[in-house]
Amino acid sequence: MAKILGVIGHPIEHSLSPVMHRAALKELGLDYHYDKFEVKPEELENFVSDARENFLGFNVTVPHKVGIIKFLDNLSKEAELIGAVNTVKFENSSAKGYNTDGLGALRALEEAGQQANGKKVLILGAGGASRAISFQLAMEGAEISICDKAGDKAEELAAEIMKKLNKDVRILDFPIKEKLDDFDILINATPVGMSPNIDNSPLPREFLNPSLTVMDIVYNPLETKLLKEARETGCKTVNGTGMLVNQGAESLRIWLGVEAPVETMRNALLNELKK
């Protein structure tokens, strides 16, 4: 049986996936190799073809999450809905694509004691991460609102969720101009606040209220300006490591059929980020 796992992207040197997955495989006592592979878009088809022979599976990151679909044989329900893949598994040289990003975000919220069902959720951004999170939380019964500086992208995503899940999505104009009193959960699914631009926040502090749970998908820095201001306001906060670790744990479950040691993965990730 193939013993190679990994992550592909372009560029890939920044990826923290190997740190988490190697720690998990070591704890589980499993003899698999997890590496990162620099794959340019024009090399993607050949990579997938070659990987069928000697890989168990791999994670997929920017810029291949959509482009890889045409080289796979089938998709999970989530991957099909979201229209993007972050995990590939080979079985009998057949390649199946999955998307664990949305589930990673859901699990991160659950770790913070927050269920999605019936909650009013505002998601900032309408890019790839937002797509995965919006679909997943909508499937879980959350009421979704989206705000993106490219209003047409938000409109497109809302229309797609309506078409595929028959759920209304509210669009908020950018920039947000009012206090977020109507929401239970705020999720920043944009790169705003990411290192080196750590003094940026996607919205003013005065729009936050203490009853919000605020999640940021950015994990460098661990506490973004948004999360710092949310914490000081009295909000419950969830940093970007929660989604990253939980989507990775779900990938391991798909490949190996085991429950991943989430805390071991989280500690390995935190130690790496503190270097």
Each residue of 210-240: pLDDT tens digit?
999 999 999 999 999 999 999 999 999 999 9
Query: At CB < 8 A and 24+ separation, what contacts does 88-94 make?
Result: 88/48, 88/51, 88/57, 88/58, 88/59, 88/60, 89/56, 89/57, 89/254, 89/255, 90/2, 90/51, 90/52, 90/55, 90/56, 90/57, 93/52, 93/53
Q: What is the pLDDT of residues 135-150, one digit of tens each?
A: 999 999 999 999 999 8
| Pairwise CA distance, residues 267 & 273, whole Å | 10
What whole-number distance in Å separates Cα of residue 167 and Cα of residue 74? 25
The per-residue pLDDT of the chain, averaged, comes to 96
Residue 28 has which token pair?
A: 């589980």
Catalytic residue at 275? no
Give the CB-side neighbour count of residue 38, counting CA atoms within 13 A: 4
Report pLDDT for 141: 98
Pick the CATH number of 102-239 from 3.30.2290.10, 2.40.160.20, 3.40.800.10, 3.40.50.720: 3.40.50.720
pLDDT given at position 1: 63
* Mean pLDDT value across residues 7-36: 96
Query: What pLDDT is recorded for position 93?
Result: 79
Across the beta sheet with 169-171, the strand order is 169-171, 143-147, 120-124, 185-188, 213-216, 236-238
Q: One of 36, 65, 119, 225 is an active-site residue; which one?
A: 65
Confidence of residue 28 (pLDDT cuts 50, 70, 90): very high
Percent of the chain with pLDDT over 90: 93
With beta carbons less than 8 A apart as the criterion, state whether 181 and 209 touch: yes
Section 78-93 average pLDDT? 94
pLDDT band at 177 (very low <50, low <70, confident <90, very high): confident
**Percent of the chain having pLDDT more than 70?**
99
pLDDT at residue 73 tops 80: yes
pLDDT tens, residue by residue, 206-215: 999 999 999 9
Whether residue 80 has pLDDT greater than 70? yes
Q: Can you give the pLDDT at residue 275?
A: 85
Average pLDDT score over residue span 36-44: 98
Distance CA 195, CA 47 (A): 31
Per the CB < 8 A criterion, the answer to whether 21 and 252 are in contact is: yes
pLDDT band with cut points at 50, 70 and 90 for residue 178? confident
Domain 4-99+242-273 belongs to what topology? Rossmann fold (3.40.50)
Q: Which of 101, 108, 116, 111 is nearest to 185 (CA)?
A: 116
* pLDDT, position 2: 67
Domain boundaries, the chain: 4-99+242-273, 102-239
Token code pair at residue 171: 């669009």
Query: Mean pLDDT over residues 95-112, rounded?
Result: 98
pLDDT (average), residues 176-195: 94
